[in-house]
């Protein structure tokens, strides 16, 4: 009789340990994902608030708001594209002359990438067990 009770207690303890360790890993992953997106957000805010970029402020602010209020609890394939697009945008904004004509194209690319990211995040949270 006591053997069954001991086995039940051990199984319950083991199940609780597995459940809590998965939850802890999920929490760590979520925080790491949030740090990445928050870093992109800071970079974009820096671009938006730079007085040199005043002519693009309205468009950049819309993109910033999209990123700011996006789902930050996961990583998608688009996240690394966001990084490279932000890098391109930062470089082009520092240039003078004809090269600045590329800025609206890059901003549009960033918008579409954020839209694709939004769709991937919503798809990843649909259904499944």
pLDDT tens profile 83-125: 999 999 999 988 877 777 889 999 999 999 999 999 998 888 7
Does residue 4 form part of some domain? no
pLDDT at 63: 95
Model pLDDT for residues 40-91, shown as the tens digit of each residue:
999 999 999 999 889 999 999 999 999 999 888 888 888 889 999 999 999 9
Taking the CA atoms of 80, 83, 89 and 95 in sequence, report the sign of the dihedral they define.
negative
1 has pLDDT over 80: no
* DSSP state for residue 69 in the 8-state scheme: T
Q: What pLDDT band is residue 32 in, cutting at 50, 70 and 90?
A: low
- From CA 37, how far away is CA 83, in angstroms rounded? 9
In a domain, 16, yes or no: no
Q: How many other CB atoms sit within 10 Å of the CB of residue 55?
A: 10
With respect to residue 115, please indicate whether it lies within any of the assigned structural domains: yes
CB neighbour burial string for 89-102, b if at least 16 within 10 angstroms, e if fewer: beebbeeeeeeeeb
Q: How far is the C-alpha of 2 from the C-alpha of 32, rounded, in Å? A: 45
CATH number, domain with residue 111: 1.20.5
For residues 90 and 71, give the distance between their C-alpha atoms in angstroms, rounded to a whole number: 24
> Is there a domain that residue 96 lies in?
yes
Quote the domain boundaries for residue 114: 30-124
| Residue found under tokens 């800071």 | 42
Q: Is the pLDDT of residue 3 over 80?
A: yes
In the chain, what is the straight-line distance between the N-terminal and C-terminal CA atoms, in Å? 36
Query: Would the pTM of this model clear 0.85, i.e. be above it?
Result: no
- 12 inside domain: no
Question: Which pair of structure tokens corresponds to residue 29?
Answer: 């992953």
Residue 86 near residue 44 (C-beta atoms within 8 A): yes
Asked whether residue 93 is domain-assigned, the answer is yes
Q: Is residue 14 part of a domain?
A: no
Q: Classify residue 49: in a domain, yes or no.
A: yes
Tally of domains within the chain: 1
pLDDT at 28: 60
């Amino acid at each position: 009789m006591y053997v069954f009770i001991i086995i039940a207690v051990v199984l319950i303890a083991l199940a609780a340990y597995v459940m809590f360790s998965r939850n802890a890993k999920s929490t760590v992953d979520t925080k790491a994902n949030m740090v990445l997106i928050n870093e992109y957000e800071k970079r974009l805010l820096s671009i938006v608030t730079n007085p040199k970029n005043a002519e693009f402020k309205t468009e950049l602010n819309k993109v910033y708001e999209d990123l700011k209020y996006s789902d930050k609890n996961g990583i998608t394939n688009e996240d690394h594209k966001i990084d490279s697009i932000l890098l391109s945008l930062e470089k082009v904004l520092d240039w003078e002359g004809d090269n600045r004509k590329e800025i609206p194209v890059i901003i549009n690319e960033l918008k579409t990438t954020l839209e694709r990211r939004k769709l991937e995040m919503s798809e990843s949270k649909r259904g499944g067990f």
